[in-house]
Amino acid sequence: MDNRSVVITGAVQGIGRAVVLKFANNGYSVAINYRNPLKESEAKALAEECSKISGREAIAICADVSVPENCKFLIDETVRRFDKIDVVVNNAGIMKYSLLHRMSDEDYRQMVSSNQDSVFFMMKYAGKHMLKKKSGSIVNVASVAGIYGSSALSVYSATKGAVIAMTKSASVEFARKNVRVNAVAPGMVNTPMTNDFTAEEKENMSSNIPVGRFAEPPEIAEAIYWLASDESSYITGHVMEISGGLK
């Protein structure tokens, strides 16, 4: 394979980390984005691990992708280091539980900026680059909550619904320039995001999932990789539910 490169946001832990390792295992140069400067050594260690696996360069870039200028920087810096970007995985996101009428304005704005603004700005700047070179593939991480809604997750669901709508619209705009845009909609996944649930709460939730358990991050990464790769070359504007049947 020619030297392909990928940018993954929110990538030091959880689903993002599994996606990083999946692309490295398939020979990609990987740009690992993380937000918290305290995670620098963890991000750099992951980049080193990727280089060993892929034999390609891997870089760690600290940037809060809810800020437009940072998304531009993340794309520009990756192009500077790798010459081009073939794939973007917009994975960064936060989830805050609250009934709608008790949700704080601050939590509302944080979810909109980290989950929705980030995807818009990353697609805007990556899109300019990919449309110019007439190739690319973008995979956005939404949620089944963005399709069906979920109690105490109205704002989170709304941001993920927006990601799905942007995915579908951008896929039509970008299609003639050979740039595909798809999304995955995971159900419940064992990551730091769901670590706060007690074992009992997880058991109760699992009983409502048709397959009877949470997903593991590599099960989501597998689908993201496939949607990004040439193996799915005729698929665009698609939202793949990876939820063990959970609606």
**Positions in the binding site for ligand NAD (CB under 6 A):** 9-10, 12-16, 33, 35-36, 64-66, 91-95, 114, 118, 141, 143, 186, 188-189, 191-194
Core vs surface per residue 31-64: b (16+ CB within 10 A) or e: bbbbbeeeeeebbbebbeebbebbebebbbbbbb
CB of 151 to ligand NAD, least distance (A): 15
Calculated CA dihedral for residues 225, 228, 229, 235, nearest 10 degrees? 120
Structure tokens at 173: 């705009």
CB of 55 to ligand NAD, least distance (A): 26
Which residue's CB is nearer to ligand NAD, number 27 or number 219?
219
Please state, in angstroms and as integers, the Cα–Cα distance from residue 70 to each residue in 65, 218, 222, following that order.
Answer: 6, 28, 28
Query: Counting Cβ atoms within 10 Å, is residue 83 exposed (0-12), middle (13-18) or buried (19+)?
Result: exposed
Which residue's CB is nearer to ligand NAD, number 60 or number 188?
188
The C-alpha atoms of residue 51 and residue 184 are separated, in whole angstroms, by 27
CB of 237 to ligand NAD, least distance (A): 19
Out of 125, 156, 225, 234, the active site residue is 156
CB of 152 to ligand NAD, least distance (A): 14
Which residue's CB is nearer to ligand NAD, number 9 or number 137?
9
Which residue's CB is nearer to ligand NAD, number 46 or number 53?
46
CB of 16 to ligand NAD, least distance (A): 6
Q: Is 108 a catalytic residue?
A: no
The C-alpha atoms of residue 82 and residue 85 are separated, in whole angstroms, by 7
Is the CB of residue 243 less than 8 Å from the CB of residue 220? no
Is the CB of residue 10 less than 8 Å from the CB of residue 16? yes
Amino acid letter, residue 137: S
Which residue's CB is nearer to ligand NAD, number 91 or number 171?
91
The C-alpha atoms of residue 103 and residue 123 are separated, in whole angstroms, by 28
> What residues act catalytically?
156
